[in-house]
Amino acid sequence: MFDYLEKQLPKLIMAPTAIVMLVCMYGFIGWTAVLSFTKSRMLPQWEFVGWEQYERLFANPRWHVALDNLLVFTLLFIIIALLLGLMLAILLDRNIRNDGALRTIYLYPMAVSFIVTGTAWKWILNPGLGIEKMVRDLGFTDFEFRWLVDPDMAIYTIVIAAVWQSSGFVMAMFLAGLRGVDDSLIKAAQMDGASTFRTYWHVILPVMRPVFFGAVVILSHIAIKSFDLVQSLTGGGPGYSSDLPATFMYTHAFSRAQMGLGAASAMVMLAGVMAIIVPYLYSELRGKKS
Amino acid sequence: MKTKLTGLALATMMAIAPSAQAGEVEVLHWWTSGGEATSVAFLKKQLAESGVDWVDFAVAGGGGESAMTVLKSRAISGNSPTAAQIKGPSIQEWGELGFLSSIDDVAKANNWDEILPEVVSDVMKYQGEYVAAPVNVHRVNWLWANPEVFSKAGATIPTTWDDFMVQAQKLKDAGYIALAHGGQAWQDATVFEAVVLGVGGADYYNKAFVQADMDALNSATTKEVFETFGKLRQFVDINSPGRDWNLATSMVINGEAGMQIMGDWAKGEFKVAGKNAGTDYVCVAAPGTSGAYTFNVDSFAFFNQSDAESTAAQKVMAKEILSEDFQRVFNLNKGSIPARLGMARTEFDSCAHDSMDAFVASSASGSLVPSFAHGMAVSEAISGAIYDSATQFFNSDDSADQGVAQLVAAVAAAK
């Protein structure tokens, strides 16, 4: 009896988590999928309309703005955060003094929530309060920096704030990766007379491939889910020019009584996340076996 | 330990028991800011005098979005509050879903059909029976102006949109911000609404923005509306995107800006700043809308209750909401006017007097229209589509033709 229990104990302990996961994650994903094929408006209702909600979704100009913004935001955010994070990590890895203190400083934005980041950058980027006013007060009266209030540029202010928040975290990931690189590899490269640049480019970075991969996956799902940052920084504006799929979904499902349409947009977002995660998981799992 | 817990539970039950006998109401609302909270506290006190306990269920958050989300989940799980702050066509939507309970007997006993104007009582009824009680009437088409700024710039307060452009240019030339505005979708829609009413008139407003008639929307008048609306872009300052409405109001108060188009809740800001109506600030109808009135009525809708006591308490609450005392105190705090007609008006200020007169006059002339920017005229889906088109147009360089095309497409898609 006792032996049996002991054997089953791990399963018993895992069971509640597994059930909660099944119901709260996959169950609700399934439910949202079903909702996206119904006519649901204010509350769920079970009148099925096929792909109509998806057709309406892709006929909506605001949705296309949101998708374009997502593309711009995701690409720029990932690339800039990666480059900046890598650069900081490499510089910190050069055995400089007080690197512990510097590391903390760069990591610190991570401790702040996106809401706080968004609000702070909203003030910093506001032409009448922030950078533009400061530079003008310094005497450069023609200086203009109005991305926040320019419908064509507003999405880039979200990139700025998101990069500021996340590049310290990317740096930490890379730093851990760099510290994990076998010293003998670097020594060997130096013995062969490779320059510092060549050592990094041809020896160290290839070893860090998994770290790159991990960073990209984490950053891309931060990008696709981003909601609070947009909400607090631009509120999706001016107009709806900086809307992202997540804010679109929230608006339509919860404040505009278009639950079916909101569910459809949520499913499209899920498809986007899957497109990134599934190949990653596949390569990870396959890699482990071989 | 166990006995202690049982004892505690008993004590709690005994504490609750007497009040449960007298009945209690659980009320979902989002009136949490200063003046609004005072108003709610007064209702609570009045109900206590009638032996009804008030269980506060306040969910803060702009425009009640989060409150509505909570309400939906509570209603689905079969645990509706006694009453919730719901207004306009949403009352019909909740009625269709079968959640609302009739308070028609209270209404009959207290003559609601007599004391409420028809446009208001229509909104409160589902299939001919009262299911909700109105607490106030806001007028949305107000223009708030700082007379000092106007006299310094040598401008006069405009009464038509054509004149508005001329006077606003004078303000701008004199170095003031002509139109204080917050670039949030609902504020863009509020200004848009004033332009629609001023340019198109009440008939057009009703056809296009209440009945959502496609022919009326896709017309030369709509183009004219967008042309006027587009001209306003130049009179708004560069920092407006994302600004809250009360910050825009304080720009008028401080004399940075000349005017603002906003509903009468803006009066609260002037009041708090110690300004007097008529001398320190002026309230006039938005350009071209002096005979018309866009109304925004806040109301409590009543939900089906499972037990008789709650239903009885609910009816007491319904009766109290339309009592003269509550209507007076609530509206003095909130800046709006009472929903019931024929009340003593001495305590109200001159703006409220104007609002009351215009309400009665426009009601007689048929130019009393529901506000689409504040969820009184069309379903949430359609008003969302109008919001999108108005805010997108105002924040871009789109031509009037593009504006019309976008609006027509968006409304058609939302139907």
Q: Average pLDDT for residues A14-26, to the nearest whole number?
A: 90
Q: Are residues B43 and B95 in the same domain?
A: yes
* Shortest distance, CA A121 to any CA of chain B (angstroms): 13
pLDDT of residue B100: 92
pLDDT of residue A240: 87
Query: How many beta carbons lie within 10 A of that of residue B175, not counting itself?
Result: 8
Q: Report if residue A265 sits inside a domain.
A: yes
**Residues 242 through 301 of chain B touching chain A, CB cutoff 8 Å:** 242
Q: Would you say residue A73 has pLDDT above 60?
A: yes
Q: Please tell me which residue of chain A has the smallest CA distance to B91.
A: A42
Q: Please tell me which residue of chain B has the smallest CA distance to A241.
A: B392
Domain limits for position B156: 142-294+358-414
Strands B142-145 and B177-179: unpaired
Q: Report if residue B2 sits inside a domain.
A: no
pLDDT of A78-102, one tens digit each?
999 999 999 988 888 887 788 788 8
Q: What is the CATH number of the domain that holds A112?
A: 1.10.3720.10
Contacting residues for B284 by C-beta, under 8 A, at least 6 apart: B142, B143, B145, B157, B159, B290
In 3-state terms, what secondary structure has residue A40? coil
CA distance B270 to B286: 18
B229 close contact with A: CB closer than 8 A: no
* Shortest distance, CA A257 to any CA of chain B (angstroms): 6
Q: Report if residue A36 sits inside a domain.
A: no
Angle (CA) A14 A19 A24, round 5°: 130
Task: Pick from A149, A152, A250 the residue to mutate for testing the B interface (most B CBs within 10 Å).
Answer: A149
Query: How many beta carbons lie within 10 A of that of residue B197, not counting itself?
Result: 27
Q: Which residue from B117, B89, B88 is spatially nearest to B365, judged by alpha carbons? A: B117
Average pLDDT along chain A: 87
Q: Report if residue A280 sits inside a domain.
A: yes
pLDDT of residue B148: 93
Phi, psi of A92 (to 5 degrees): -70, -25
Q: Are residues B228 and B148 in the same domain?
A: yes
- Residue among B90, B239, B410 minimizing CB distance to A126: B239
Q: Report if residue A83 sits inside a domain.
A: yes
Task: Pick from B256, B380, B411 the residue to mutate for testing the A interface (most A CBs within 10 Å).
Answer: B380
Half-sphere exposure of B257 (CA within 13 A, CB side): 24
**Which run of H or E residues covers position A248?**
helix A245-250
Among residues B334, B351, B368, the one where a domain terminates is: B351
Question: What does the block give as tokens for B277?
Answer: 């109506």
Domain count, chain A: 1
Strands B257-261 and B142-145: antiparallel
DSSP annotation of B206 reads: I
Task: Pick from A40, A42, A64 the residue to mutate for testing the B interface (most B CBs within 10 Å).
Answer: A42
Question: What does the block give as tokens for A117?
Answer: 């980041």
Task: Pick from A145, A255, A265 the residue to mutate for testing the B interface (most B CBs within 10 Å).
Answer: A255
pLDDT of residue B63: 64
Half-sphere exposure of A187 (CA within 13 A, CB side): 3
Q: How buried is residue B128: exposed, middle or buried, by Cβ count under 10 Å (0-12/13-18/19+)?
A: exposed
Strands B132-139 and B293-302: antiparallel
pLDDT band at A287 (very low <50, low <70, confident <90, very high): low
Domain count, chain B: 2
CA distance B78 to A153: 46
Does residue B18 have a cis bond before it (omega within 30 degrees)?
no
Q: Are residues B114 and B168 in the same domain?
A: no
Query: How many beta carbons lie within 10 A of that of residue B410, not counting itself?
Result: 23
**Residues 106 through 165 of chain A touching chain B, CB cutoff 8 Å:** 122, 126-129, 146, 148-149, 151, 154
The residue to which tokens 């920084």 are assigned:
A233
CA distance A233 to A158: 7
Per-residue pLDDT of chain B (415 residues; tens, 9 = 90+): 444 444 444 444 444 433 444 588 999 988 877 667 878 888 888 889 888 888 888 887 656 777 888 888 888 888 889 999 988 888 988 898 889 999 999 999 999 998 888 888 888 999 999 999 999 899 999 999 999 999 999 999 999 999 999 999 999 999 999 999 988 888 999 999 999 999 999 999 999 999 999 999 999 999 999 999 999 999 999 888 888 888 899 999 999 999 999 998 888 888 888 888 888 999 999 999 988 999 999 999 999 988 888 888 999 999 999 998 889 988 888 888 998 888 888 888 888 898 999 998 888 888 899 999 988 888 888 888 999 899 999 998 889 999 999 999 889 888 7
Q: Report if residue A161 sits inside a domain.
A: yes
Q: Are residues B197 and B319 in the same domain?
A: no
Say whether A62 and B76 touch across the interface (CB within 8 A).
Answer: no
Question: What does the block give as tokens for B406?
Answer: 């976008």
Buried b (16+ CB within 10 A) or exposed e, A232-253: bbbbbbbbbbbbbbbbbbbbbb
CA distance B386 to B395: 14
Rg of chain B over CA atoms, in angstroms?
Answer: 23
Query: How many beta carbons lie within 10 A of that of residue B151, not counting itself?
Result: 10
Report the sign of the C-alpha dihedral through residues A213, A280, A111, A72, in that order.
Answer: positive
CB B292 within 8 A of CB B141: yes
A1 close contact with B: CB closer than 8 A: no
B396 close contact with A: CB closer than 8 A: yes
Q: Are residues B34 and B128 in the same domain?
A: yes
Q: What is the CATH number of the domain that holds B375?
A: 3.40.190.10
CB B302 within 8 A of CB B103: yes
Query: How many beta carbons lie within 10 A of that of residue B386, not counting itself?
Result: 26
Q: Are residues B262 and B405 in the same domain?
A: yes
Q: Which residue from A251, A250, A218, A241 is spatially nearest to A158, judged by alpha carbons? A: A241
**CA B85 and chain centroid, separation:** 11
Say whether A128 and B388 touch across the interface (CB within 8 A).
Answer: no
Q: Are residues B325 and B339 in the same domain?
A: yes
Say whether B380 and A148 touch across the interface (CB within 8 A).
Answer: no
B65 close contact with A: CB closer than 8 A: yes
How big, in percent rounded to 5, are the helix, strand and coil portions of chain A? 75, 0, 25
Q: Report if residue A145 sits inside a domain.
A: yes
pLDDT of residue A278: 85
Residue type at B323 in one-letter notation? S
Q: Report if residue A160 sits inside a domain.
A: yes
Say whether A240 and B391 touch across the interface (CB within 8 A).
Answer: yes
Say whether B396 and A257 touch across the interface (CB within 8 A).
Answer: no
pLDDT of residue A289: 52
Q: Please tell me which residue of chain B has the smallest CA distance to A154.
A: B241
Distances (CA, A) of B229 to A256, A273, B157, B173, B226: 24, 40, 18, 20, 5
Q: Are residues B177 and B226 in the same domain?
A: yes
Q: Which residue from B403, B412, B414 is spatially nearest to B192, judged by alpha carbons? A: B403
CA distance B403 to B413: 15
Q: Are residues B182 and B280 in the same domain?
A: yes
pLDDT of residue A108: 86
Domain limits for position A91: 62-289
Q: Are residues B401 and B385 in the same domain?
A: yes
Say whether B239 and A41 touch across the interface (CB within 8 A).
Answer: no
In chain B, residues with a C-beta closer than 8 Å to the C-beta of A237 are 183-185, 241-242, 391, 395
CA distance A109 to A75: 21
The residues with which B369 forms a beta bridge, in sequence order, are: B294
In chain B, residues with a C-beta closer than 8 Å to the C-beta of A42 are 72, 90, 93-94, 97, 380
CB A273 within 8 A of CB A262: no
C-alpha distance across the termini of chain B, in Å: 61
pLDDT band at A236 (very low <50, low <70, confident <90, very high): confident
Q: Are residues B287 and B371 in the same domain?
A: yes
pLDDT of residue A130: 85
